[in-house]
Structure 1
């Protein structure tokens, strides 16, 4: 961003140091804290601590996406911006770019933030979310909200059955909209405990991904309306699915199925349409809302980070931060454990 003045690290040109040995938050904070005073001048200690957290979040995302965090390249940084444009403010993303830029300058590597791909991605984000646009924060669909979205849906309507399965499975599996779109029928297996889903990377809506996969288990739900297993099996039954795409497009009005898979954009439209139907402003939700809702709900229920990460595919606790919107882990009251 050096030509536009958006990179606060553009004039940062310190003597070289050894790269960090690890990219978790503590290691990165220790690495930056150990820099000589000449490297740290001009920036407050709080700024360096923020940089450490920013770098850890970027590194966690890179690991989950099978990318290299340090050194990295322009396309990777651009993809990171696009992936978080709906979740983070422009100010936060700008600071993330500064942290990435500073880290590469410290070890003597060309700043990836100056790449054309990053310039283009930043311009797109500014057009979508800049000061001239209406402020929009994508909200997480929490457990109670999910129940509200699916409550009006009929069990006898093909479209309703599809939308229920999308919403419930997307939430319970902490799935991205692209991952839902990329699912094939063969990727969803019934087990005694519920469903086992093979998520094959971040799909492009054509049944392919960009590498890597994870296995996600979806249990039986306590409530019929939000049960992943019942929702999936009802959709498969009504649609008569035998192979191929797990979720199909439909004609306008939902009168019949089309012989092609849904796109990620179509998944997001389902979230918006079902939100609008129950009185929720559709501009406040998106495809990310299901994944963010699972993580936020799980944190509020006190689920350990390692369990959430196993479901969502995050590689580090720091990478959960952008999704857990204002969630605070409940603290157990010790008075409840002393036999009163």
Structure 2
């Protein structure tokens, strides 16, 4: 049996440059299963959200190239430069131009799919690097100045009162646990959604939560958060109440509740290679919608608050509680103190 070559014309899972590598003309079929098993691990090369964002960005680039009758993969660096020229002037409904971060994501997507197909990325062209430096320093671009505001003690108290206004006691228990944990632990919404029951340890004076993976920890380095019981709005009692009511003893911590609010939806977590689909637990978008829902009910307004507000509120509240930078970094998982500046928003 002819063994699959490692070249740009093959399936993306097998795409890699063969140049310079020794290749036998034929390999036994008995190796094919092992090859495909190893190649399947590239599914985890980047996160699901990143892959989704890259696919959306590359689709925009493909549409641009099709409109002008040029190749998107592989792409001429001049085509990418022209694309950025068009994208930087796109006006959104808000009346603002696309941010530099969005443009960088567009370029990252183009680079990613070229590498996957075995081509040299056109985004490495020196002219593109100069253009992006210029965009960074261009003071005349009309970019949005909006940033999500922090949820602190006062806002969190309003949100918890808004949760109590819900008719479903089961839903109220889950959402109180979600909001207080997101705030006290400074979690990202993706981290909240992926938390598992066996990651929790209720110690004598604190709740310890292990993070298997996070945005800043993609390789599974040991990481955890210690959340004291004696802090205002400590999450531990709310989490215990939710676990008891939902009778959770395994799997994801934050489960989906039925529309009537009386029971949990069917829970299923697919295993690698099983071909099933996940169901019965929250994802990052669900966390975002939950925060915005209660912000609206509480009268805080949906425009200024989101899931990011919980993490920002954690940083800002700890700062106002006179905690030092290292303490706050230990809570949020930041590895660079400069990153805290984006989250710290004193009123």
TM-score by length of 2: 0.53
Q: Deviations over 1:306-333 (max 9, x none)?
A: 0000111111211101000246xxxxxx
Unaligned runs of at least 5 residues, structure 2: 1-45, 58-96, 106-120, 133-140, 268-279
Aligned residues of 1:221 and 1:229 also touching (Cα < 8 A): no
Offset of 1:300 from its aligned partner?
2.0
CA distance in 2: counterparts of 1:92 and 1:252, whole angstroms: 40
Q: CA deviation at 1:113?
A: 11
Equivalent in the alignment of 2:190: 178
Equivalent-residue separation in structure 2 for 1:255 and 1:301 (angstroms): 39
Structure 1 equivalent of residue 254 of structure 2: 247
The worse-fitting range, judged by mean Cα deviation, of 230-239 and 137-146 is 137-146
Using CA pairs under 8 Å that are at least 6 residues apart, name the structure with larger relative contact order, 1 or 2.
Answer: 1
The answer (yes or no) to whether the contact 1:139–1:284 under 8 Å persists in 2 is yes
- Residue 148 (structure 2) aligned to one of 135, 138, 141: 138
Which of the numbers 194, 214, 222 marks the counterpart of 2:206?
194
Deviations 1:30-73 (A, max 9, x none): xxxxxxxxxxxxxxxxxxxxxxxxxxxxxxxxxxxxx9xxxxxx
Find 1:312's aligned residue among 311, 332, 337: 332
Determine whether 1:264 maps to 2:276.
no
In structure 2, relative to structure 1, the CA distance for the partners of 1:134 and 1:238 (3 Å cut) is same
Taking a change above 3 Å as real, the CA distance of residues 115 and 167 of structure 1, as seen in their structure-2 partners, is farther
Return structure 1 stretches of 4+ with deviation > 2 angstroms. Answer: 89-97, 112-116, 131-137, 151-156, 208-213, 251-256
Aligned residues: 216
The question of whether the paired residues in 1 share the 8 Å contact of 2:98 and 2:143 is answered with: no
CA RMSD of aligned residues (A): 4.0
Of the structure 1 ranges 134-143 and 212-221, higher mean CA displacement relative to structure 2 is found in 134-143
User: Following superposition of structure 1 onto structure 2, how do residues 56-75 of structure 1 map, counting pairs within 5 Å?
Assistant: none
Measure how far apart 1:227 and its partner are.
2.6
* 2:163 alignment counterpart: 153
Would the aligned equivalents of 2:183 and 2:313 in 1 still touch at CA under 8 Å? yes
Aligned equivalents of 1:160, 1:314: Cα separation in 2: 31
Matched, 1:279 2:299: yes
Larger Rg: 2
Q: 1:190 to 1:135 in 2, by over 3 A?
A: same
Contact 1:136/1:283, CA 8 A, preserved across alignment: no
Consecutive unaligned residues in structure 1, runs of 5 or more: 1-66, 68-74, 83-88, 98-111, 123-130, 328-340
Post-superposition CA distance 1:5-29 (Å, at most 9, x none): xxxxxxxxxxxxxxxxxxxxxxxxx
